[in-house]
């Protein structure tokens, strides 16, 4: 592994204008990291990656590299990009357990993080390093959010999230599991108890629905719920998946690993929403695809779809009389998800948009003083690296806000 990664790193052209960095949502200094790594200083290379992206080890595994750093590599013109994902993973994995922030001087101020997903973990690490007393309130029994409950083990090993938990605890960050804010504990309770600012990073866990007949049947499930704990589901021998994003690919590949013998993904368009790499992996695993169809009803025997035709201007419409049943023992709906509203419904002064997402300014400030937000609960279902990048800005804004209170 090390030999191959070193050889791959040596392929980097060290471009004066690194397009790979421009293609990265968090502007990872790819050539600088590679150059430092090849000079023999893997610890400094790891430091550079972590300082730029606290979730570097995670992003090295799950980012859409073919559209980001690797997709923008000049060598990609010959379909031979430098595979920085492998280099980043090797360096970050080597460095992670060496992290040592030394003695952190406390500033006597308390901040709350609601949600232990990518955004929450990022902000907790940044603010804890700046001396704040941080508590993460996690509604589930374990932190990780979408990293733990939305991405399969074969793509992101859960042990990586456990390593982050150990890091957080070593920094003095407190974690309250099985604690939903907006039920027993409210935002107002937290301000009462001395939290100077509160971050909301609860993600989007409410599945979107199709509003078609049959969605309440016992053989119908939602992707985000299934991925949370596939072991508790009995899908039978065959599965239809409605939707063709990355979540659909995760569901399809997971279902095959949990006993399904036949899995088919259905899409309105032949331009699948999932990344090409994830589609390729799904096909290799044996997933079948049907395109230019739209679901009209779900039954105990399977899903009824109607064929679609294009009007020549990019609009797809149903073709009457083409409805037919695609048999399956189970159907899973994978058409993204939105936010739950228990915090908003119990907290005055928080505005949301027509999608139920929290309204913030550029710096993550919500419409109520002292409350900040970022991640999917603000921008909808997006990538992890985008959530981390935005959360770094929000952490700076929270720091500035709290220092202003102290002055």
Residues 65-78 pLDDT 10s: 988 999 999 999 88
| Residue 274 DSSP label | S
Same domain, 179 and 223: no
Domain that holds residue 394: 110-205+339-406
Same domain, 201 and 343: yes
Mean pLDDT is lowest, of 171-185, 312-326, 369-383, for 369-383
Q: Is residue 195 part of a domain?
A: yes
**CATH number for position 352:** 3.50.50.60
Of 337, 356, 372, the position where a domain reaches its end is 337
Residue 130's SS3 state is: coil
Above 70 in pLDDT, residue 277?
Answer: yes
The answer to whether the Cα torsion of 340, 343, 346, 351 is positive or negative is: negative
pLDDT in tens, 358-374: 888 988 899 999 999 88
Distance CA 14, CA 32 (A): 8
Q: What is the pLDDT of residue 3?
A: 54
Distance CA 96, CA 397 (A): 26
Of 96, 125, 153, the position where a domain reaches its end is 96
pLDDT-derived band at 383 (thresholds 50, 70, 90) equals: confident
Same domain, 353 and 395: yes
Q: Is residue 105 part of a domain?
A: no
pLDDT-derived band at 133 (thresholds 50, 70, 90) equals: very high
Mean pLDDT, to the nearest integer, of 11-31? 94
Same domain, 7 and 74: yes
Q: Half-sphere exposure of residue 242, counting CA atoms within 13 Å on the CB side?
A: 28
Same domain, 239 and 254: yes
pTM of model > 0.85:
yes
Mean pLDDT, to the nearest integer, of 312-321? 85
Specify the higher pLDDT residue, 114 or 183.
114
Above 70 in pLDDT, residue 342?
Answer: no
Q: What is the pLDDT of residue 79?
A: 87
Q: Which of 66, 55, 73, 95 is nearest to 14 (CA)?
A: 73
Same domain, 346 and 197: yes
Distances (CA, A) of 278 to 16, 62, 274, 312, 337: 32, 10, 7, 29, 20
pLDDT-derived band at 407 (thresholds 50, 70, 90) equals: low
Q: Is residue 170 part of a domain?
A: yes
């Amino acid at each position: 592994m090390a030999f191959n990664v070193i050889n791959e790193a040596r392929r980097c052209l060290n471009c004066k204008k690194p397009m790979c960095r421009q293609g990265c949502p968090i502007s990872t200094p790819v050539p600088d990291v590679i150059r430092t790594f090849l000079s023999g200083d893997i610890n400094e290379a790891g430091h550079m990656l972590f300082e730029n992206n606290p979730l570097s080890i995670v992003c090295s595994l799950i980012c859409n590299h073919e559209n980001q750093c690797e997709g923008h590599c000049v060598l990609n013109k010959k379909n031979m990009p430098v595979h920085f994902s492998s280099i980043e993973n090797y360096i970050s994995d080597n460095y992670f357990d060496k992290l040592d922030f030394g003695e952190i001087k406390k500033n006597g101020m308390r901040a709350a993080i609601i949600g232990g997903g990518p955004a929450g973990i990022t902000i907790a690490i940044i603010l804890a390093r700046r001396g704040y007393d941080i508590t993460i309130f996690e509604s589930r029994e374990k932190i990780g959010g979408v990293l733990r409950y939305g991405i399969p083990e074969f793509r992101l090993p859960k042990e990586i999230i456990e390593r982050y938990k150990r890091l957080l605890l070593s920094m003095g960050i407190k974690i309250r599991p099985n604690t939903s804010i907006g039920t027993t504990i409210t935002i107002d309770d937290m301000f009462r108890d001395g939290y100077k600012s509160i971050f909301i990073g609860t993600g989007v866990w409410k599945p979107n629905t199709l509003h078609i007949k049959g969605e309440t049947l016992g053989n119908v499930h939602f992707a985000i719920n299934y991925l949370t704990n596939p072991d508790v589901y009995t899908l039978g021998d065959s599965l239809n998946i409605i939707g063709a994003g990355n979540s659909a690919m995760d569901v399809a590949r997971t279902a095959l690993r949990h006993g399904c013998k036949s899995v088919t993904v259905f899409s309105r368009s032949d331009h699948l929403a999932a990344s090409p790499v994830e589609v390729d992996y799904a096909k290799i695993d044996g997933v079948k695809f049907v395109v230019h169809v739209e679901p009209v009803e779900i039954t105990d025997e399977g899903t009824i779809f109607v064929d679609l035709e294009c009007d020549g201007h990019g609009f797809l419409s149903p073709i009457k009389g083409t409805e037919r049943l695609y048999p399956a023992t189970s159907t899973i709906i994978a058409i993204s998800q939105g936010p739950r509203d228990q915090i908003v419904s119990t907290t005055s002064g928080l505005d949301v948009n027509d999608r139920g997402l929290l309204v913030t300014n550029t710096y993550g400030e919500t419409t109520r003083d002292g409350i900040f937000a970022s991640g999917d609960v603000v921008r909808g279902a997006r990538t992890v690296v985008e959530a981390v990048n935005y959360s770094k800005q929000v952490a700076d804004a929270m720091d500035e806000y709290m220092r202003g209170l102290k002055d």
